[in-house]
Amino acid sequence: MEEFEVVVAILNKDNANRLRLCLESLVAQTFREFNVVVIDGNSKDDSLNILHEFSQKDKRIHYIIQKTEGTGNARNEVIDYVKKAFPNCTKIVWGDSENVYNIEYLERIVSACKDKDFAIVGGKNVIYSDTPISQALWWYYNGLPGIQLTVSGNNECVPMKVYETHRYPNMIRGDDFVFHLELQKEGYKFYKCLDAVCYITTVETFKDFINWTRKKALGLYQGATYKKGLLRQTVLHYLSFNVLIWIYLIIFFFVYSNLILLVSYVALPLIASFCLWYMGKPFVKNMRKITFLYFIPIILLHLTLMFFELIRLDFITRLGAKKKKRE
């Protein structure tokens, strides 16, 4: 087993078609000195056959079956495996079987991790989809240029030394978010390498978007059990957005009879939507014009649903705790 300083860790479950594309893009990288470790969450599709096929063709590719449950636990299992199997590893590049990597991705992100004095180096997430709902979510995976660029847990390079003192919380979603909060609290630095391009897919339908948002809320709620004050902070965060949304909607009843004020009222979200559409073009493969109409509704729905879902989860938890106490 040849050892390198870089390990690419891929999380997979029941995603055989995209897994093949992901591995093909890794095998084709210009940077060659890396091993791949895929952790499979007991897939029921053809994933294991694909992993066996690729591991036979390329000795750098390895795979393990997850013993526990949850994304956070999966990451921790990979870390433990890497420490034993590749003791010379100094960096883990985290990925997902949904990802397809530009041919120079590893060369760029590993170089940035070496040259910059940062704990975490993230890559650029490009939405590879023609669906407006997917394209309208580019900001979630990348942040806003000129304001705040986001580093995603499924597209980042992390030095192994970080894992000497830190581990991922076991959460259904958002384990990387809580992990990043802890690092930021301790003064670790983050860097976004826009030259390291990773093509991703996300929700394609309205129904999938609703389920995706609810899982995000559940992940954040679970995170509250690991970080004190996170739930209160998160709820207040989404509450403030919802208050602003309702204030804006109520203003309509004061301006609808005045044409000039009404035009200004309507123009504001249109301008915001155009800015998001224009800023998002580098983060979307072939941005569609119709996507312009999706940004504001998607953002408003996401913020509203996140707030009420967090409240619902907290109510159910408190109700269950009281019932258990009475018993």
- Quick: pLDDT tens for 198-209: 999 999 999 999
Predicted local distance difference test score (pLDDT) of residue 208:
95
Predicted local distance difference test score (pLDDT) of residue 116:
66
Same domain, 178 and 267: no
Over residues 288-313, mean pLDDT: 94
Same domain, 189 and 225: no
Same domain, 288 and 177: no
Over residues 126-154, mean pLDDT: 91
Predicted local distance difference test score (pLDDT) of residue 147:
74
Position 139 in a domain: yes
Over residues 77-88, mean pLDDT: 95
Judged against a pLDDT cut of 90, whether residue 119 lies above it is answered with no
Same domain, 148 and 22: yes
> In the listed set 140, 175, 200, which residue is the last one of a domain according to the structure?
200
Residue 231: pLDDT band with limits 50, 70, 90: confident
Provide φ and ψ at 216, rounded to 5°: -60, -40
Over residues 262-271, mean pLDDT: 93
Helix/strand/coil for 170: coil
Q: What is the spatial distance between Cα 324 and Cα 77, in angstroms, rounded to a whole number?
A: 33
Q: What is the spatial distance between Cα 294 and Cα 284, in angstroms, rounded to a whole number?
A: 14
Judged against a pLDDT cut of 70, whether residue 305 lies above it is answered with yes
Judged against a pLDDT cut of 70, whether residue 51 lies above it is answered with yes
Structure tokens belonging to residue 317: 């938890």
Contact assessment for residue 198 and residue 123, using Cβ atoms and an 8 Å cutoff: yes
Structure tokens belonging to residue 23: 């591995």
Judged against a pLDDT cut of 80, whether residue 79 lies above it is answered with yes
Q: What is the spatial distance between Cα 291 and Cα 50, in angstroms, rounded to a whole number?
A: 35
Residue 118: pLDDT band with limits 50, 70, 90: confident
Structure tokens belonging to residue 33: 């000195």
Residue 283: pLDDT band with limits 50, 70, 90: very high
Same domain, 180 and 240: no
Predicted local distance difference test score (pLDDT) of residue 200:
95
- Segments forming the whole domain that contains residue 264: 206-326
Q: What is the spatial distance between Cα 72 and Cα 85, in angstroms, rounded to a whole number?
A: 20
The residues, ordered by sequence, that sit 6+ positions from 183 with a Cβ below 8 Å of its Cβ are 119, 120, 162, 166, 190
Same domain, 128 and 266: no
Residue 115: pLDDT band with limits 50, 70, 90: low
Judged against a pLDDT cut of 70, whether residue 2 lies above it is answered with no
Global pTM value:
0.89
Judged against a pLDDT cut of 70, whether residue 86 lies above it is answered with yes
Predicted local distance difference test score (pLDDT) of residue 148:
77
Same domain, 318 and 260: yes
Position 244 in a domain: yes
